[in-house]
Amino acid sequence: MSNPVVPQKSPYATELAPGDYWWCSCGKSKRQPFCDGSHKGSGFEPLKFTVNEAQKVWLCGCKQSAGKPFCDGSHSKL
């Protein structure tokens, strides 16, 4: 498996309603930070996560976070 594409070197600050979401792990989605199916055949799979209450979250944009799908500051080392 190759390395993911880095769509941006900062997090996506996103307001989310309660529900299930699929975070793009390959970096190829046109709907960043969410999956649009662009990973097919790449060896990458989207990461499902659940939000239990409406909240603002910072989703990883560099695809390098150890706390995926959330930003852990890894983009500052790129």
Condensed to tens digits (0 to 9), the pLDDT of residues 8-26 reads 999 999 999 999 999 999 9
Condensed to tens digits (0 to 9), the pLDDT of residues 29-72 reads 999 999 999 999 999 999 999 999 999 999 999 999 999 999 99
6 has a pLDDT exceeding 70: yes
Per-residue confidence (pLDDT) for residue 1, from 0 to 100? 60
Q: What 3-state class would DSSP assign to 74? A: helix
Q: How distant is the alpha carbon of residue 15 from its chain centre?
A: 14
Look at residues 69, 63, 48 and name the one whose alpha carbon lies nearest to residue 9: 63
Tokens of 15: 């307001």
Cα 62 to Cα 54: distance, rounded to the nearest angstrom = 24
Q: Are 25 and 44 contacting, i.e. CB atoms less than 8 angstroms apart?
A: yes
Tokens of 68: 């995926």
All structural domains of the chain with their residue ranges: 12-77
Per-residue confidence (pLDDT) for residue 44, from 0 to 100? 96
